[in-house]
Structure 1
């Protein structure tokens, strides 16, 4: 009789059992973890084009030294200084590419899965890691944020790490230096870590009770949090409080946009599991969805309360209240971003609620298996459909234009690469001559050897509503005009300013570092802080493609050169 068969009773056939030493639950957890890592690595290998905020932040990282990253950023960007330093270090170590700029986010996105496994096991129970991974591993938002030059995934990771360290301290582990060190460093990497740190301090005070003021751990943690938060505030207060920034986030401050932001963003996380809305969750405003989420989270609160995690529940709740208070004071927009850094707490509470409401034997098996099947069965097909749903069929127009250009290109001309990325950010409206003028500047921008589009018919949709911003010198190549009659003011500032001297300087500064990068950005009415982005890109050489969407509006995509012909320079 083999080790995998049970003894026979009477005429019964032998029953198979798992081989000794193999834990099915552990095996399923490891497979789900590997699946999540695979999704993130596959997405990184696609090397998607950067969208406008990535492009703007990456320009700051590539064009500044480490000390300059601690000053106000250009192009209307705000980011924690230590995060920028990490991205800059990755960029210098591995060379200029999309991958090097996104390495910090990719590593953080993978580490987030490991932290959540440990946190779920510590707070809920043995089966919780599989349930939490089945939710987070295939989540499209997390996969996308793990491959962006933005600190969004770092915000989620910082919240999870602080919650994990706090849970260890409250359970009796001696974290003499790790928790204070995290409370000092994480605010320098993630702005929401300031609010999460406030929750940690409240949990420590409640845990120690009346003797909290005599505890060295509490004082050390408080000092570290105040120092890290104060430094971050000094580095970010100016750009985050400009008139344009406050106007931009006007609709996102509590409490005006809170409900809409919560429903559209936070609940959409769980409505897009495995890249597609599961049956019954296609409408995130389904009347039962919010009550259902409230019931599960409430059950999770009860479950953790029974397990003696009352102080930790306070650490989960205080950051939400602190963030909303800052937003109500009109200083920190929370509605669209709140769901990011409360995601670890929310997911743990959902898992705890499932364990409380469902029978013990099916508390983790049923939902985990269902979610895992969604990820495996629908993931690849739905992932393709997810990106295609944001790329209208009119992309074929741009593909035909590119094919024609490739056919006509001479052997000695530069080689250009067109990167198809997630196009949800590209369908911007071109309704005014000013918008059309900015678009025309991009479409007419050329390689050093001549104009980009040789077929004049390509420009006809734009010609009807714009005035030329570029003139053409003998031999081809654009000459940027400092001003044009089409550059009228809107909202007390021009849409963009193509100053040739500034553009040449900016192009020379970013050309070497940015050549291997492909950029995707919107054509929109840019604020003064972003006026230089279009000029710098247009002056540094590249390829722009366009398409019409279903509404007849224009969108453009810009790609830098992968290679250049020797001896050629952008036109001046």
Structure 2
């Protein structure tokens, strides 16, 4: 429609046309969208608020877990004795007390403790920093790799993953494993999507070559990233890109082979560790029904620990497992490269377990949690969208049910960490109440913590008897160690990392020798004082 103005109205009169001055003037203007109702804008902001709140909560929980500064538990204490009392060159040799960790991680921790001291906080500082970096890196990874809704779900799950939070405050390498996995996937994403320039390729080559010195399972992650990148170039028949990516993988291979034959291979020959992890190696080949059940059981066990979906909360581990499987099927059609990068590391770890080179269990699988949560988030949103088409709000209820399990685990972790073992409190109590002439018996599982805390809580060496390792729970051996205390007025018994059968056996034998004057129980630890006259 023509716009009527005073100028063209005047032209119309001159041409002899009659135009009424009362005729309404019609003016067309560009369509302006109506403002969205306030309720709609608030609803649209809810997902963003939830994501931001989960990131802040995840950061706060990691800071809280670290600042709580709980006592070292047995594995931390044994590793601490190696790092604190060995020189840097000595850390390149097989560790004492059947401990194992990547040489890069050991040297990094040694550098920190040399500069700032060997306190619990300083020993755990690298893991804590790695936990915060991992959270910061996972956000861009999720948003670049996944559709918006799935990215939000994955970020919420990662932020509140209880084992990622717990291991960010422990003096063990597993939290760093997860962060390195996130970093490698973030570096690899533009490569397998053919969006990477020369410098990104160089960064991926250097990052992967360095990663295997700081994380044993980084090799599995590199297997997934490398396979996705090579397959992408091969499918597109981009031979120059394939050659460049082969060079990157070759750099990883040289670095891994060097690290493996110099250091990691020795760890894989430790018979004690092989016996300790017995039952956590996949039957190979899996031909019998029991072998298939082993895989089935360990698949869902992964979503309990370390993925953190508490089984007692609406069978959340099974729910997460189903989301993972649905996510894999959908991702195979929508983004097969991402599927290869995220699932291959778990498959490689499973095969390595079949060769008795890497146990498929618990904390050793922390590295696979970030990739698994990417797939779980993707599958969960797809299921929620289908449910929403069946009944209103059902999709939201499904997502809340999935999120509530790790959130509940985080809440429980505030009250009791993953490894709550108050060896320090037991040792401190005995030290504060020590009198001249007292003697002490240290349970074998508390010996590493006792040795670590000895400078802080000194005891006269001649008055302390440390038990010998007795994982077979041979009662007669405990009795042999306790018999020399007969006739003593004040005998302290320090137990940490306790097993109830061992504690009761020790207490029953001592009750037959004398009288328990004092007994104080802490988390997974107990201190007793006996009069054995």
- Band the TM-score falls in, shorter-chain normalisation: 0.5 to 0.7
1:134 correspondence with 2:156 = yes
Task: Assess if the C-alpha contact under 8 Å between 1:191 and 1:232 holds in 2.
Answer: no
Deviations 1:526-550 (A, max 9, x none): xxxxxxxxxxxxxxxxxxx976899
Deviation at 1:78? 1.5
The within-5 A match list for 1:212-223 is 212=239, 215-223=242-250
> In the alignment, which residue of structure 2 is the partner of 1:201?
226
Instruction: Tell me the distance in 1 between the aligned counterparts of 2:119 and 2:241.
Output: 51
TM-score for both structures, normalised by structure 1: 0.63
> In the alignment, which residue of structure 2 is the partner of 1:465?
479
Task: Assess if the C-alpha contact under 8 Å between 1:51 and 1:522 holds in 2.
Answer: no
- Aligned with 2:279 (options 251, 263, 269): 251
Task: Assess if the C-alpha contact under 8 Å between 1:70 and 1:81 holds in 2.
Answer: yes
Instruction: Tell me the distance in 1 between the aligned counterparts of 2:99 and 2:405.
Output: 37
1:447 correspondence with 2:488 = no
Deviation at 1:57? 1.3
- Aligned with 2:88 (options 66, 69, 76): 66
> In the alignment, which residue of structure 1 is the partner of 2:412?
382
CA 1:62 to 1:348, structure 2 compared with 1: closer, same or farther past 3 Å?
same
Instruction: Tell me the distance in 1 between the aligned counterparts of 2:276 and 2:479.
Output: 27
Task: Assess if the C-alpha contact under 8 Å between 2:445 and 2:497 holds in 1.
Answer: no
> In the alignment, which residue of structure 2 is the partner of 1:425?
none
Deviation at 1:54? 1.1
Instruction: Tell me the distance in 1 between the aligned counterparts of 2:522 and 2:491.
Output: 29
Instruction: Tell me the distance in 2 between the aligned counterparts of 1:350 and 1:265.
Output: 13
> In the alignment, which residue of structure 2 is the partner of 1:301?
328
Deviation at 1:101? 0.6
Please state whether the residue corresponding to 2:98 is helix, strand or coil.
Answer: coil
- Aligned with 2:146 (options 124, 128, 132): 124
- Aligned with 1:181 (options 192, 206, 219): 206
- Aligned with 2:347 (options 317, 321, 324): 321
Instruction: Tell me the distance in 2 between the aligned counterparts of 1:406 and 1:437.
Output: 18
> In the alignment, which residue of structure 2 is the partner of 1:109?
131
> In the alignment, which residue of structure 1 is the partner of 2:13?
none
Instruction: Tell me the distance in 2 between the aligned counterparts of 1:269 and 1:243.
Output: 25
The within-5 A match list for 1:408-487 is 447-448=459-460, 465-468=479-482
Deviation at 1:240? 2.5
Deviation at 1:352? 0.8
1:239 correspondence with 2:267 = yes
Deviates more, 1:296-305 or 1:365-374: 365-374
TM-score for both structures, normalised by structure 2: 0.67
Instruction: Tell me the distance in 1 between the aligned counterparts of 2:519 and 2:366.
Output: 33
1:357 correspondence with 2:383 = yes
Instruction: Tell me the distance in 2 between the aligned counterparts of 1:464 and 1:78.
Output: 28
1:77 correspondence with 2:99 = yes
Instruction: Tell me the distance in 2 between the aligned counterparts of 1:67 and 1:156.
Output: 27
Instruction: Tell me the distance in 1 between the aligned counterparts of 2:445 and 2:175.
Output: 35
Q: Which has the higher helix share?
A: 2
Task: Assess if the C-alpha contact under 8 Å between 1:297 and 1:346 holds in 2.
Answer: yes
- Aligned with 2:304 (options 245, 267, 276): 267
Instruction: Tell me the distance in 2 between the aligned counterparts of 1:121 and 1:547.
Output: 50
> In the alignment, which residue of structure 1 is the partner of 2:374?
348
> In the alignment, which residue of structure 2 is the partner of 1:148?
170
The within-5 A match list for 1:280-295 is 280-281=314-315, 289=318, 292-295=319-322
Q: Which has the larger radius of gyration?
A: 2
CA 1:77 to 1:522, structure 2 compared with 1: closer, same or farther past 3 Å?
farther
Number of residue pairs matched by the alignment: 435
> In the alignment, which residue of structure 1 is the partner of 2:4?
none
CA 1:450 to 1:390, structure 2 compared with 1: closer, same or farther past 3 Å?
same
Instruction: Tell me the distance in 2 between the aligned counterparts of 1:404 and 1:154.
Output: 35
Structure 2: where are the runs of 5+ without partners?
Answer: 1-32, 284-290, 437-441, 466-474, 501-517, 529-533
Please state whether the residue corresponding to 2:163 is helix, strand or coil.
Answer: helix
Please state whether the residue corresponding to 1:107 is helix, strand or coil.
Answer: helix
Deviations 1:132-181 (A, max 9, x none): 23323233222211111111112222222222222122231321211111
The within-5 A match list for 1:502-541 is none
Task: Assess if the C-alpha contact under 8 Å between 2:178 and 2:369 holds in 1.
Answer: yes
Question: What do you get for the CA RMSD once the two structures are aligned?
Answer: 4.8
Task: Assess if the C-alpha contact under 8 Å between 2:230 and 2:242 holds in 1.
Answer: no
Instruction: Tell me the distance in 2 between the aligned counterparts of 1:104 and 1:205.
Output: 33
Deviation at 1:229? 0.9
- Aligned with 1:95 (options 117, 128, 145): 117
